[in-house]
Amino acid sequence: MSNILKNKMKLEVLTPLHIGGADYKSKLDKKEYIFDKDKKTLTLIDNEKFIGFLIKKNLFEKYIAYIENNVNAKIMIQNRNINLLNFLKANNIDKDIQDFRKKAPIKLDMNIENMNDIKLMLRDVQGKPYIPGTSIKGALINLLLVDYIIKNREEFFKEKRIILSECKKANDDRSIKGLKNEIKKIVNQIEKSIVYGDNKELEKSKRFGISVSDSYSYSNTRTNFYQDIDEKRTTKVGEDKTKSMPVAREYIIANSIFDFDITLDVDLLKESKLKIRNIDNLISSLENAMSYLIDVLGDKNSPRTENLVLGANTGFLQKTIVYALFEDDKERLEVVKKMVHKNQRNAIGNHLNDKFSPRVLNRIKINNKNQLAGLVKIMKVDEKNVGTN
């Protein structure tokens, strides 16, 4: 028999939030949009209308030839030379975009020559943006683990020593690959020990006392497109810290409000090491973990009212268990730089000489300020004991 507490919740988006889908609809290739770098606009194309327009203008065969000439057919990878606007201008139809666009052009604050990827927000069957409960639950559990670890690091002294010792011995690509697998196993065991305590039956069944519904907004949720920004972490004065990436994502804008439910099985939660007995305990743990992570990353643009981070472009924030284990900056750097390392022969993939780790934070630019995306605040609206299970 379990005591079940159902909590009606609100989620406030503090910085723009992107959650992409896994299917083909979540990403646009260069044949599905027009990026005008001079006007700084993005226009989404209605493919059915566009094909009909081309057929009417006797340009369909010419369009197909243009695409074929710019695609590597052997590996089916689209060439960067595809630029729909150039095709339209070359055929004197760039003034007719309104005949085959989905909606009016979107103004973008982007300083790049070419756009590669356009990634769309996940939407429901009615075409409305929503936040899956699985996304909220995954991020929520991650922060609960962080909160427990930073309060109980002495409990994991042995695991920390093993990880650190192995990190210091791994200094080439092959040994680092093996190290990553070993760290993954250790972290997995730490997570299980916290979530399930000593209850092997619970661990076997993978039952956990927190469930989260999908999150919907009952107002007209607005979205906007923002460019990915890589911000280098450095102490060098005058060094350019930012690099604009040729990727734009569709984000739910700040101040959007969503409704969802969190249901707590109190008796199941008592089996774990987490001290969660009600929603207030849960929110307090989230706030503590987020404050710790923002402080460690040295982020100065955070609203400081967030208690959760969701979605894409949140970088290392959602891979934080090892970050929480090591309080000492030098030890943390030694471990994390090996975890993110990929290849010694590649300047981008080589992290062995990093002075910060992660050395780059993924951000978006809003009003000339680089911000972490996906910062949200969840709040309790109402709590109801729905009986036993």
Q: Tens of pLDDT along 188-209? A: 999 999 999 888 888 878 888 9
Nearest to 354 by CA among 235, 180, 239, 179: 235
Q: What is the pLDDT of residue 36?
A: 87
The residue ranges of the chain whose pLDDT is under 50 are 1, 73-76, 78
Tell me the pairing of strands 223-232 and 360-366: antiparallel
Q: What is the pTM of this model?
A: 0.87
Nearest to 139 by CA among 43, 29, 259, 17: 17
Q: What is the pLDDT of residue 109?
A: 73
Which residue intervals of the chain are DSSP H helices?
47-56, 60-68, 84-90, 133-151, 157-169, 173-196, 200-205, 266-271, 279-297, 321-325, 329-340
Task: Point out which residues pair with 226 in neighbouring strands.
Answer: 249
Other residues' Cβ atoms within 10 Å of the Cβ of residue 347: 7
Q: What is the pLDDT of residue 74?
A: 44
Q: What is the pLDDT of residues 236-265, one digit of tens each?
A: 665 667 888 888 889 999 999 999 999 999
Q: What is the pLDDT of residue 388?
A: 62
